[in-house]
């Protein structure tokens, strides 16, 4: 079953006082494009998470937004007492501080370089985040793909409706096609008869047959109708494809080929009814072209 390229998925979990969440959004794109948004301390995981997305998603612009909130005691940074003492020692040598004219603000001291340091177990925390975010990304992908499949089912229904509309009009066109030459022959005989009576001339049957053969060849649309019907059969196979392979690009190309055949029929047939029907066919194909842009 075909899949849409738009979707949403999310997943979250808490581990050892840290809450993690992953949110995925996907939009149309001819190719695969990933946008990864991570907290600064987790940005080293960007390449890994993008690879995980590539394994599951073939086409579309996918935005992954991850966050982590640490509410445990381990979230606190360590104070480098040696660095802090050194700063205080130097500040006490400042005259204004020594005289009590200037006070030392503890909050400002903590912002000085080297005073606050990450805990030595930072690598262990990163490894924990790697495992959790990897699993959450897989879960969010499942939710996103599920939504894309649901939207794909709706797309199939619409595409099948458009296919049936084209097929119905092709049946009518095939019924009308043989009458084109017959009608032309009737009109041609009437015009020639009037001209021959006026000029008192005689028309050779061979000349009439030659003229009709030339017109029949110029207006013969049987080949184009056959190719268009073949495209519709292939279109049916693609939208009912159950192997899960992406077919969006193939459908887009096929819609262009269908429009090409419809344009040729329109240019070759002088019949008013056929022209009206083929205009309707082209309109339906245009709607197909718009909708397959959202097929993976």
Enumerate domains of the chain plus CATH numbers.
7-74+122-148 (3.30.230), 78-116 (no CATH), 151-292 (1.20.140)
Listed residue (133, 115, 102) closest to 23, CA to CA: 133
**What's phi and psi for 273, nearest 5 deg?**
-65, -40
Locate all alpha helices (DSSP H) within the chain, ordered by sequence: 46-56, 81-91, 95-98, 106-110, 122-199, 205-218, 222-239, 248-268, 272-292
pLDDT of residue 222: 77
User: What is the predicted pLDDT for the residue at 55?
Assistant: 93
Which residues does 172 contact at the CB level (< 8 Å), separation at least 6? 273, 277
Of 123, 165, 141, 173, residue with least CA distance to 53: 141
**Residue whose entry in the numeric block shows the structure tokens 């130097």:** 90
State residue 95's pLDDT score.
Answer: 63
- Give the CA-trace dihedral at 264, 265, 268, 274, to 10 degrees: -150
pLDDT at 108: 74
Take residue 101 and report the two structure tokens written for it: 């004219």
Per-residue model confidence (pLDDT) at position 210: 64
Q: What is the pLDDT of residue 52?
A: 95
Within a 10 A sphere around the Cβ of 137, how many other Cβ atoms? 23
Which among 246, 245, 262 has a CA at the least distance from the CA of 294?
A: 246
Q: Which residues, given as ranges, of the chain have pLDDT below 70?
A: 71-77, 95-105, 109, 115-122, 180-220
The predicted pLDDT at position 96 comes to 59
Distance CA 30, CA 49 (A): 21
pLDDT of residue 229: 92
Nearest to 92 by CA among 80, 105, 104: 104
Q: Is the dihedral of CA 106, 108, 114, 117 positive or negative?
A: positive
Residue 24: name the closest of 136, 131, 130 by CA.
136
Residues 6+ apart with CB under 8 A from 150: none
Report the predicted TM-score, pTM, of the whole model to 2 decimal places: 0.70
Q: In this predicted structure, what is the pLDDT of residue 225? A: 85
Closest CA to 265 of 285, 245, 250: 285
């Amino acid at each position: 079953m075909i899949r849409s390229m738009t979707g949403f998925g999310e997943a979250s979990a808490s581990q050892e006082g840290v809450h993690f969440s992953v949110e995925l959004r996907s939009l149309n794109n001819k190719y695969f494009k990933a946008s990864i948004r991570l907290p600064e301390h987790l940005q080293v995981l960007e390449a890994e998470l993008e690879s995980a997305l590539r394994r599951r998603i073939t086409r579309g612009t996918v935005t992954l937004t991850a966050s982590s909130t640490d509410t445990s005691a381990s979230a606190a940074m360590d104070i480098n007492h040696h660095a802090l003492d050194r700063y205080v020692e130097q500040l006490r040598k400042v005259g204004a501080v020594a005289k009590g004219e200037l006070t030392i603000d503890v909050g400002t001291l903590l912002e000085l370089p080297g005073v606050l340091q990450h805990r030595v177990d930072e690598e262990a925390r990163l490894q924990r985040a790697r495992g959790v975010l990897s699993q959450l990304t897989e879960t969010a992908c499942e939710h996103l793909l599920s939504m894309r499949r649901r939207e794909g089912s709706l797309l199939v229904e619409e595409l099948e409706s458009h296919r049936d509309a084209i097929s119905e009009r092709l049946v009518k066109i095939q019924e009308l096609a043989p009458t084109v030459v017959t009608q032309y022959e009737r009109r041609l005989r009437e015009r020639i008869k009037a001209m021959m009576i006026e000029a008192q001339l005689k028309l050779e049957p061979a000349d009439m047959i030659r003229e009709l053969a030339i017109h029949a060849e110029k207006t013969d649309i049987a080949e184009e109708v056959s190719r268009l019907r073949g495209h519709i059969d292939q279109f049916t196979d693609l939208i009912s494809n159950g192997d899960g392979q992406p077919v969006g690009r193939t459908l887009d190309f096929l819609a262009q080929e269908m429009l090409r055949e419809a344009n040729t029929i329109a240019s070759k047939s002088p019949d008013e009814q056929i022209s009206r029907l083929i205009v309707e066919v082209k309109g339906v194909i245009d709607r197909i072209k718009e909708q397959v842009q959202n097929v993976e």
